[in-house]
Amino acid sequence: MLSTEQLVNVLQSIQLASSLPTLAEGQSLAPVNIAQSTQQLAEQVRQQGGDVSQVDMHTIDLVGMVFEYMLSDENLPDSVKALLSYMHTPFLKLAFSDPGFFERPEHPARVLLNSLAEAGTRFVGNDGSVQYDMYQKIKDVVDRVIKDFNNDVNVIAELFIEFNSYTKNIIRRQELMERRATERVQGEERLREVK
């Protein structure tokens, strides 16, 4: 059986080999095949002459279920699903290196994934429409997770703080614009009443 450290090293090599593909104009990103990713991990483990313990297989399955659930969410646009699926390997590596990942709902990685999905649902349409350049922002976060995450949860926490700040600013601007529009309509109605 491979130790958790050896398994994390195998996942690190898979993560470094996987990056977001560069797409031509009009092309859409294909989501990561979670089953194929798990199979690739098993193959690399066998190449190292090892095997995965039953407990580690449960961890692999649990992370896979999280991403399969996300990929089946009908409210989340397909383009965002595809982007977020590329975080499977880093999150799998995180699940092995940080036991708090499953135990704490407020774990930075879980909160980041939820925030990215929520922003994708709110600001990206299935028809390809995007508000506030949100698709690119989500893509930047996913790309940084793939490139920069090296078993340090602080990287994930930092990305969450940056992304959360960005989305809060957008929401504040939206609320301000809505309030101004409401006030303008109310002002016009008062003016009509006075006339």
- The predicted-structure confidence for 130-176, as pLDDT tens digits, reads as follows 888 999 999 999 999 999 998 899 999 999 999 999 999 999 998 99
pLDDT tens column, 18-65: 888 777 666 788 888 898 888 888 888 888 878 888 888 899 999 999
Q: Residue 151: is it exposed, middle or buried by C-beta count within 10 angstroms (0-12/13-18/19+)? A: middle
Average pLDDT of the residues in 91-100: 90
pLDDT at 42: 85
Instruction: Check residue 76 and give its pLDDT.
Output: 94
Tokens 């399955």 belong to 61
Of 73, 96, 85, nearest to 142 by C-alpha is 85
CA distances from 158 to 40, 161, 165, 195 (A): 30, 5, 11, 55
pTM, rounded to two decimals: 0.84
Q: Output DSSP code: residue 73.
A: -
pLDDT given for residue 24 in this prediction: 64
Which among 74, 80, 70, 155 has a CA at the least distance from the CA of 120?
A: 80
Location of structure tokens 């349409």: 125
> φ and ψ at 189, to 5 degrees?
-65, -40
The encoded tokens of residue 166 equal: 């960005």
Nearest to 179 by CA among 190, 171, 189: 171
Query: What's the rounded Cα separation, in Å, for the pair 109 and 185?
Result: 42
- Residue 87 and residue 117 in contact, taking contact as beta carbons nearer than 8 Å: no
Best CA proximity match to 122, nearest among 134, 110, 112, 113:
134
- The DSSP H or E segment spanning 149 is none
